Chains A and B, each alone.
Chain A
Amino acid sequence: MMPDHWPRRSKVPEIAGVERIHLESHADAGGVSTQVFHREWQLGIHPVQWNAVQSEANVLRGVHVHAVHEDYIVLLKGQTLVGLRDLRPGAPTEGNTAVLELKAELLEAVRIPPGVAHGFYFTRSSLHLNAVSHYWNLADELGCHWADPQLRLDWPVREPLLSQRDASAGSLRDLVDTLRTRLQEATPS
């Protein structure tokens, strides 16, 4: 049983292992304060690095997936849609998709495990924290084109602002093959 002062957590039924953490804010004349992470919450992630990411409206970051590192995302300002696709071979929800909406007014964190592809479409100018369980490693930065129809992610945009890397990303089919190899390498024998 979780102590009362820990935030409520809810599973995303479409994709096993993805969790929403419902953070509690306190507003007063000085502003709004929110505890966004604490090790004692036993979320199963020990972040070694925290990043702050500011995004203009109509930016899409992704679609990315990692074989090793786990993400813990907290939207501090703005609004985003998080598109998810389970690419883990043999996972109970393999192949499933989900789109989560995050609004800063309803402060939530999302935990995304390795093997779950994810992209973020920012419908408003936004600021989010991204905590990661392992340091950045190019070999763990995999991805595919955000609009690949095989992803079955129904993005509400046709021409988002993308990085060069995301704009030239390959197909989901190629990503699945690469990820399968990387997941096998990352699994302790």
Chain B
Amino acid sequence: MEGWGEPLEGVRLQPLTVHPDHRGTFTEVFRESWNTGIELEGWDMLSTEPGALWGVHLRAWSDCYLVLLQGRATAGLCDLRGQPLARRGSTVVELSDEARVALIIPRGVAHGLYFHEPSVLVIATSRGRQPERGLGCAWDDPALEIPWPSTHARLSPRDAALPPLAELREALAAITPPYPGEVT
């Protein structure tokens, strides 16, 4: 499949084709033959209410494949790859069930989603070389420089307790995961 460009280096948007008829819709969400470059092993579903925010999370060893099946959301991304550890760029990507895409997030890119409507999100993850440690940081840390559409959000207890970005950077520095293109 052809992608729709890269909001950040390595972050990809894959357009998905929705086939509607009088019964509903049918969408191929993922095919191994699409050569996305990631081998998915786990699939999760998230059902949220308006005003909920999921994240900000970071996977050090595995990649994410996200598809919003219902609703509307803003994905916030902050690239924390590279040595020395630095914030290499932040952006937001708008997701809607009216223009269905798969958002591919490589390991090392911190990410969160703010939901504008009741939404259903599927999150698939690739096999990692090591188990993930539940890394993340506070979604509203100004150092993330993510232009969220709201200053308030409903969070899970886990996300509400996430540390500042500075602590996430320290945790990343301690595990120093190798990213594509780096000498390990």
Contacts and interface: CB of A to CB of B under 8 A. Distances in A.
The majority secondary structure among interface residues of chain B is strand
B66 to A, nearest CB: 13
A31 B69 contact: no
Listed residue (A35, A37, A54, A55) with the most chain B CB atoms within 10 angstroms of its CB: A54
B154 A53 contact: no
A129 B54 contact: no
B32 A31 contact: no
Contacts of B47: 31-34, 76-77
Contacts of B42: 35, 37-39
Interface stretch (B19-27, B164-172, B173-181): B19-27
A161 B23 contact: yes
A54 B52 contact: no
Contacts of B157: 28-29
Interface residues of B, number: 39
A30 B29 contact: no
A108 to B, nearest CB: 12
Contacts of B53: 30
A30 B124 CA distance: 19
A98 B140 CA distance: 51
B48 interface: yes
B28 interface: yes
B31 interface: yes
B54 A31 contact: yes
Contacts of A161: 22-23
B41 A51 contact: no
A39 B29 contact: no
B44 A33 contact: yes
B155 interface: yes
B45 A34 contact: yes
Nearest to B115: A31
Contact of B32 (A32, A37, A49, A61): A49
Given A29-B154, A30-B154, A53 B25 contact: yes
Contacts of A135: 31, 33
Given A54-B24, A59-B24, A38 B69 contact: no
A54 B25 contact: yes
Contacts of B127: 39
Interface centre among B24, B49, B122 (most CB of A within 10 A): B24
A75 to B, nearest CB: 10
A29 B156 contact: yes
B52 A76 contact: no
B70 interface: yes
Contacts of A37: 42-43
B43 A50 contact: yes
A140 B28 CA distance: 17
Interface string A111-148: 00000000000000001010100010000000000000
16 contacts: A29-B155, A30-B155, A33-B45, A34-B45, A36-B43, A38-B42, A49-B32, A50-B28, A50-B30, A52-B25, A52-B122, A54-B25, A56-B24, A76-B69, A107-B45, A135-B31
